[in-house]
Amino acid sequence: MTEKKALLQVKHLKQYFKNGRHTTKAVDDVSFDIYEGETFGLVGESGSGKTTTGRSILQLYHPTSGEILFDGQDVAKLKSRSDQLAFRRQAQMIFQDPYASLNPRMTVEDIIAEGLDIHGLVKDKDERRKRVEELLETVGLNKNHASRFPHEFSGGQRQRIGIARALAVKPKFIVADEPISALDVSIQAQVVNLMIELQKKRGLTYLFIAHDLSMVKFISDRIGVMHFGKLLEVGPADEVYDHPLHDYTKSLISAVPIPDPEIERSRKRLTYDANKEEFDGKKRTMHEIRPGHFVRCADDEVAHYEAVAQSYE
Amino acid sequence: MPERILDVKNLKIDFHTYAGEVKAIRDVSFHLNQGETLAIVGESGSGKSVTTRSIIGLLAKNAKVMGGEINFHGKNLLSLSEKEWQKIRGNEIAMIFQDPMTSLDPTMKIGQQIAEPLIKHKGVSKKEAWKKALEMMKAVGIPNAEERINQYPHQFSGGMRQRIVIAIALICEPEILLADEPTTALDVTVQAEILDLMKDLQKRVKTSIIFITHDLGVVAGMADRVAVMYAGEFLEYGTVDDIFYNPQHPYTWGLINSMPTLESEKLEAIPGTPPDLLDPPKGDPFAPRNAYAMRIDVERKPPFFQVSPTHFAATWLLAPGAPEVEPPLEIQRRWKKFKAMQASADKGE
């Protein structure tokens, strides 16, 4: 663990939204690291704050408090435009809805090259065109598609365009916010395979946000589980999936439908009541129960989770 | 032999668009048995939603039925007038739509929305219908029903709204319930609750369900029988065990194989995209994406070959004299399991 370098460190991130007199604590004291070259999966239900976390990391919101260190540098403290631009070049995003995230009035070439233009990465039109064509081929599209408009493409193809756009500025880190949930099953696999292949070739680091646990487990090296704005459990993907510690993680895993009728017929669903933890007034922090496997709990609950971890052995 | 409640024969539906005639449903035949759940799986654009909409008479204006019949209680539903449809819709045949956010009327109290079908179809008094609506709300698991019956849809979460939609669909105890991706918009934990609720209510109301989804995991848990749809056609159908443990069509293989399993190292994606139904292929529609395709697949449409009395698949691989092919590893694993299951079933009998 120690020789791996943390590319991104999220420390006590809080992101509150004021709505009249009411404050929504969308992300409430969340801390985790993402190591260089790995895929960190963030799962949770809608409203758990996983998307907000991703967006706060990229400074699409201004975090209420907490630090986000990228390559050791606090991204909230980047004041000059050139520093901010440099960060945005390093960290890109792939959005959930391929139908809403591409400007319908721009050609594919202009969509993909927008980042190149902003960062001044190409000298002239020919080079711009050449780069776009390369990118299209990288993501498995035909290079002649550059002059077309988004409506001429299917959902899977559009998501490839979104990936090409993110890759254009050669980032180190990509936040992928539910990149496959709007796609059909057979197309999901294509996009996931493409993302894995690109990661291998270019040494990318991903924050993969999704609610589909089976796919997250498949693509991620480590997984974080969020619920009501709090990070409840973090650990290696197989550990979290096969040996979940937190009751919420267990309930989430027990709800995932498996394409095997026999397993489905014997499924036992576990339910989780968040009130139990929310209102007992105990102070909870992350505790390492097994190497690299953390769970959010109070000091007097550590023994309980030790026992849970023991029960898997 | 279970009683057939619905019989669809050679259904063909075109859509008239500016680009030309889109052949959305191309000769589809199937039946629904009393009390069973039939799942239709397929990708978007495969025609599964159009098929169900034709069963409840809710096709878009530019849709045209080019042939076939849908028999329900000796009547061909395709020949009904709008007046006659109104008597059946929401009464004998009901539907749950995909998006609970848009399928409720935002200006009506939910109690009214649940009671409405009873008043319209069964001639029940308002007071009586309101009482029944309250019972139904309790049955679908809405807490504080007495209070919430007077609330409006925006005061409910997505999962609760879908429960309301289910309450509306089931209040007249329909013989057939059409569920078009009823849980796709919901979180997994909520999805699991809604699916359990549907199974539970199905037993109580004794309704037959046509369940449309693209999620094979959901199918495995819900269906008695499964039909695999692609490019406006059925490619394979059988019992849930036939389809999951003994799949025969390469498209079914591809679908199962593209789901991550606990052991999978790499996802086996199906290459390419579905065909354009403006100009549908004349052979097996999956042939261009099919690694196992033979020359005949491109030229001639395969008929349904019988695998077992319950299981049929339209692929030339099942034709006598077709070459033996080796399906993907995951499928071989499932075939083995199927053989073992059959062997133990034989012993049991």
- Across the interface, do B191 and A255 touch by the CB < 8 Å criterion? yes
**Residues A108-159: pLDDT tens digits?**
999 999 999 999 999 999 999 999 999 999 998 888 889 999 998 888 899 9
Question: Considering only A212-221, A272-281, B147-156, which range has the smallest mean pLDDT?
Answer: A272-281
Q: With an 8 Å Cβ cutoff, is A41 touching chain B?
A: no
- Across the interface, do A218 and B260 touch by the CB < 8 Å criterion? yes
Q: Is residue B229 part of a domain?
A: no
Contacts of A273 in chain B (CB under 8 A): none
* pLDDT given for residue A237 in this prediction: 94
Instruction: Report the predicted TM-score, pTM, of the whole model to 2 decimal places.
Output: 0.88
**Share of residues in chain A with pLDDT > 70 (%):** 99
* pLDDT given for residue B349 in this prediction: 60
Asked if pLDDT for residue A2 goes beyond 80, the answer is: no
Mean pLDDT of A216-245: 94
Q: What single-letter amino acid sits at A232?
A: L
* pLDDT given for residue B173 in this prediction: 92
* pLDDT given for residue A297 in this prediction: 92
**Chain B interface residues facing chain A, Cβ-Cβ under 8 Å?**
43-44, 158, 187-192, 195-196, 214-221, 240-241, 244-245, 254-256, 258-260, 264, 266-271, 273
CA distances from B348 to B1, B334, B343 (A): 21, 21, 9
Question: Considering only A46-55, A157-166, A181-190, B70-79, which range has the smallest mean pLDDT?
Answer: A181-190
E-assigned strands of chain B?
4-17, 20-33, 37-41, 63-72, 75-76, 93-96, 176-180, 208-213, 225-230, 233-239, 305-308, 311-313
Asked if pLDDT for residue A3 goes beyond 70, the answer is: no
**Residues A11-20: pLDDT tens digits?**
999 999 988 8
Residues listed for chain A: 313
Q: Count CB pairs under 8 A between chains A and B.
A: 103
* pLDDT given for residue B1 in this prediction: 67
Residues B248 and B215 in one domain: no
* pLDDT given for residue A1 in this prediction: 46
CA distance A184 to chain B (A): 6
Total number of domains in chain B: 2
| Listed residues B191, B223, B255: the one ending a domain | B223
Residues B190 and B283 in one domain: no
Q: Is residue B339 part of a domain?
A: yes
CA distance B222 to chain A (A): 9
Residues B309 and B211 in one domain: no
**Residues B112-130: pLDDT tens digits?**
999 999 999 999 999 999 9
User: Which chain A residue has the Cα nearest residue B252?
Assistant: A186
Mean pLDDT of chain B: 92
* pLDDT given for residue B170 in this prediction: 92
* pLDDT given for residue B19 in this prediction: 86
Name which of A46, A99, A185 to mutate to probe chain B: the one with the most chain B Cβ atoms within 10 A of its Cβ.
A185
Distance CA A301, CA A311 (A): 16
Residues B260 and B178 in one domain: no
Ramachandran region of residue A29, left (φ > 0), alpha (ψ -120 to 50) or beta?
A: left
- Across the interface, do A212 and B188 touch by the CB < 8 Å criterion? yes
Residues B46 and B88 in one domain: yes
Mean pLDDT of B124-149: 93
CA distance B88 to chain A (A): 33
Q: Is residue B291 part of a domain?
A: yes
Asked if pLDDT for residue B99 goes beyond 90, the answer is: no
Asked if pLDDT for residue B311 goes beyond 90, the answer is: yes
Domain that holds residue B44: 4-223
Contact B89, B53 (CB under 8 A): no
Buried/exposed code over A39-61 (b: 16+ C-beta within 10 A; e: otherwise): bbbbbbbebbbbbbbbbbbbbee
Tokens 């006598």, residue? B320
* pLDDT given for residue B341 in this prediction: 93
Contacts of A218 in chain B (CB under 8 A): 260, 264, 267
Name which of B267, B286, B334 to mutate to probe chain A: the one with the most chain A Cβ atoms within 10 A of its Cβ.
B267
Asked if pLDDT for residue B208 goes beyond 70, the answer is: yes
The count of other CB atoms within 10 Å of the CB of residue A144 is 9
User: Which chain B residue has the Cα nearest residue A141?
Assistant: B272
Residues B320 and B213 in one domain: no
Mean pLDDT of A48-66: 93
Residues B198 and B258 in one domain: no
* pLDDT given for residue B318 in this prediction: 95
Residues B128 and B156 in one domain: yes
Mean pLDDT of A232-242: 94
**Residues B4-59: pLDDT tens digits?**
999 999 999 999 988 889 999 999 999 999 999 999 998 888 999 999 999 999 99
Superfamily of A6-101+172-311 according to CATH: P-loop containing nucleotide triphosphate hydrolases (3.40.50.300)
Asked if pLDDT for residue A21 goes beyond 90, the answer is: no
Asked if pLDDT for residue A307 goes beyond 70, the answer is: yes
User: Which chain A residue has the Cα nearest residue B191?
Assistant: A255
Residues β-bridged to residue B37: B209
The three-state secondary structure class of B237 is strand
CA distance A242 to chain B (A): 10
Q: Is residue B230 part of a domain?
A: no
Q: Tell me, what CATH number does B160's domain have?
A: 3.40.50.300
Sequence ranges of the domains in chain A:
6-101+172-311
Would you give the end-to-end CA distance of chain A in angstroms?
A: 22
Asked if pLDDT for residue A36 goes beyond 70, the answer is: yes
| Listed residues B179, B194, B223: the one ending a domain | B223
Instruction: Find, among B176, B150, B153, the residue nearest to B164 by Cα.
Output: B153
Q: With an 8 Å Cβ cutoff, is A299 touching chain B?
A: no
Q: With an 8 Å Cβ cutoff, is A273 touching chain B?
A: no
Q: Is residue B85 part of a domain?
A: yes
- Which residue of A154, A193, A213 is in closest CB contact with B188? A213
| Listed residues B171, B196, B223: the one ending a domain | B223
Residues B191 and B64 in one domain: yes
Q: What is the 3-state secondary structure (H, E, C) of chain A?
A: CCCCCEEEEEEEEEEEEEECCEEEEEEEEEEEEEECCCEEEEECCCCCCHHHHHHHHCCCCCCCEEEEEECCEEHHHCCCHHHHHHHHHHEEEECCCCCCCCCCCCCHHHHHHHHHHHCCCCCCHHHHHHHHHHHHHHCCCCHHHHHCCHHHCCHHHHHHHHHHHHHCCCCCEEEEECCCCCCCHHHHHHHHHHHHHHHHHHCCEEEEEECCHHHHHHHCCEEEEEECCEEEEEEEHHHHHHCCCCHHHHHHHHHCCCCCHHHHHCCCCCCCCCHHHHCCCCCCEEEEEECCEEEEECHHHHHHHHHHHHHCC
Residues B74 and B193 in one domain: yes
pLDDT band at A45 (very low <50, low <70, confident <90, very high): confident
